[in-house]
Copies of this chain bind each other. A is one copy, B any other.
Amino acid sequence: MTVERRRPTHGTVILIGGSEDKEGARLILTEVVRRAGGGPLVVATLASEVPDAQWERYHRVFRDLGVTALRHLAVQDREELVDADPSAILDDAAAVFFTGGDQVKIATKLGGTPLFDKLRDRFKRGMLIAGTSAGASAMGEAMLVARGLEEPTHKVDGAFYMTRGLGLVAELIIDQHFAQRARIERLIGAIAENPGVLGIGIDEDTGVVLEPDRRFTVMGRGAVYVADGYGITHTNVSEKSRGQTLSLFDVRLHVLNHGTGFDLGSRRPFKATHE
């Protein structure tokens, strides 16, 4: 798989590492609401096995936070999108929020449908896209795929456990529940395959707000890891090296907390404070 560089996208994207606070200060979801600007907010539960339960949960939270126009985008099956195109739901939407579950479901249901064309079009015109957990991972050009319960190792093969995401955020491979599931090795394996891409790992109850100017700032309780493969001087990743132990020189790693950020254009972290 190759991850091409694209022109910057035009909406704002909020990526959340999962398990965002829904009861207390609700820092991150409040930011989602603020950025949606009071317009209709669509909750997309495509990743979930329990879409109705998720809809009810987020409906309650977002309503509590003052959103009056809430819509549920539920797609059980890709065929539904052929029979009846539900994309009218996006016509005047200010934001779409993707809930968690299985990120592959988001891509297989949405990819190559009129609904996705509409979503991308609206996004390019400034609509906010937000996603938590699997809903965040699906936004990248490539998605990391779970390898099951096998023993953790540092094999080259880690670089191949990827599939195509929606590509709304180019240049990024996004991982979530990061500290909680100790996933940094798989993120590093992923950038080994294409050092041009940036890997970001987002902790639970932590989010990044990626602006159209390609700068993102971190908010929330945890950390965001950024693994930059741009300066890699050696990697042994190739089809032939499957089964071998990974070897990789000169990965640049940043650990970002609330109030710091990263510029995807210059590939530099920065200290900042939220507005």
Contacts and interface: CB of A to CB of B under 8 A. Distances in A.
Interface in A46-76: none
A80 interface: no
Contact of A250 (B248, B254, B260): B254
Interface stretch (A20-28, A107-115, A177-185, A207-215): A177-185
Given A184-B185, A185-B179, A257 B271 contact: no
B222 A245 contact: yes
A143 interface: no
Contacts of A153: 179, 203, 222
Interface of A: 151-154, 179-180, 182, 184-185, 188, 192, 203, 221-223, 227, 234, 236, 244-258, 260, 269, 271
A255 B184 CA distance: 12
A252 B252 contact: yes
B246 A255 contact: yes
Contacts of A245: 221-223, 257-258
Contacts of A271: 234
Given A179-B153, A182-B152, A249 B269 contact: yes
A255 B188 contact: yes
15 contacts: A152-B179, A153-B179, A154-B179, A184-B185, A188-B253, A192-B255, A223-B245, A223-B246, A223-B247, A245-B257, A246-B257, A247-B256, A247-B260, A249-B269, A251-B253
A225 to B, nearest CB: 8
Nearest to A271: B234
A271 to B, nearest CB: 7
Nearest to A189: B255
Contacts of A236: 257
Given A154-B222, A182-B185, A250-B269, 9 more contacts: A152-B180, A154-B257, A184-B184, A188-B253, A222-B245, A246-B255, A247-B256, A250-B253, A251-B252
